[in-house]
């Protein structure tokens, strides 16, 4: 892993692909390359995530721009995209929203893979600037707006709500990897003292914003399934759970009951 990181940073310094390193391994680095490479190595040694140095992270087969204003997209979140695509496959005229979009990786991926336009929101204006940059990069049909949860959405106006909400308990901050705790935005990581504050607000607001029979899909945090399922006990049906490659419950889907 350290060697891979060193190679990635060297490629970034030289603005080349890794294949170039192997094909030209006997060549001396130019002075400017040494300057950039030394700076990147120093940043990494100080804990800065590689993705924030290179400003890139692959997600669902596409490269996304990232910086310290947004959470770095994780491979586990691709399960949420897969669940959304499967649900939308035979549906049209569907109003979809991604809450807490961050880099826009979920919204852009779902829009491109499903062919359905997606709305997406975030409370952070700086995050929305990153998301818009990624939308333009991939020419995706996504419309971003600033908002807290679903407060800016009309009642019963949505068919599908997607979200990878902040779910790390703030009391667990000390247990996080330093490069996560010290570099990634706290607003995108922490879901209150127990980790369930945003889940509770999101579920409550989705009950207003979704049409009866609408679907909500959420990424789950570690050991959060039982508590989130309890929150859905009264007004939600057809609850389905998708496990990740490690066998952990990763995505929960639920349908708003028709009354």
Q: What CA–CA distances, in Å, run from 40 to 5, 7, 15, 53, 55?
A: 10, 11, 13, 7, 12
Answer whether residue 52 is part of any domain. no
Instruction: Specify the pTM.
Output: 0.92
Asked whether residue 37 falls in the same domain as residue 75, the answer is no
Residue-level length of the chain: 259
What is the token pair recorded at 163? 């979200």
Query: How would residue 13 be classed by pLDDT, with cut points 50, 70 and 90?
Result: confident
pLDDT of residue 226: 96
For residue 218, give Cα distances in angstroms to 68, 70, 71: 23, 18, 16
Judgement on whether residues 37 and 143 belong to the same structural domain of the protein: no
Claim to verify: residue 17 and residue 69 sit in the same structural domain: no
* pLDDT per residue as tens digits for the range 240-258: 999 999 999 999 999 999 8
DSSP letter at 94 equals -
Number of domains in the chain: 2
Domain span at residue 10? 2-46
């Amino acid at each position: 892993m350290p060697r891979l990181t060193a190679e990635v940073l060297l490629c970034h310094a030289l603005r080349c692909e890794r294949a170039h390193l192997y094909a030209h391994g006997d060549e001396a680095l130019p002075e400017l390359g040494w300057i950039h490479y030394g700076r990147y190595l120093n940043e990494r040694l100080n804990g800065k995530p590689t993705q924030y140095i290179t400003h890139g992270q692959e997600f669902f087969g596409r490269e996304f721009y990232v910086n310290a204003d947004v959470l770095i997209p994780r491979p586990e979140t691709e399960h949420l995209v897969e669940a959304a695509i499967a649900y939308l496959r035979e549906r049209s005229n569907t109003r979809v929203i991604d809450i807490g979009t961050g880099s826009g990786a979920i919204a852009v991926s779902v829009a491109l893979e499903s062919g359905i336009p997606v709305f997406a929101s975030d409370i952070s204006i700086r995050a929305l600037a990153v998301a818009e940059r990624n939308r333009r990069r991939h020419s995706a049909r996504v419309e971003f707006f600033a908002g807290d949860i679903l407060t800016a959405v009309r009642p019963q106006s949505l068919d599908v709500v997607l979200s990878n909400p902040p779910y790390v308990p703030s009391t667990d901050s000390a247990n996080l990897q330093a490069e996560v705790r010290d570099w990634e935005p706290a607003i995108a990581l922490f879901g209150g003292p127990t980790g369930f504050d945003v889940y509770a607000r999101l579920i409550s607001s989705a009950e207003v914003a979704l049409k009866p029979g609408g679907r909500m899909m959420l990424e789950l945090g570690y050991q959060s399934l039982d508590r989130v399922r309890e929150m859905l006990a009264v007004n939600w049906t057809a609850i389905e759970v998708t496990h990740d490659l490690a066998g952990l419950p990763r995505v929960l889907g639920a349908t708003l009951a028709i009354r």
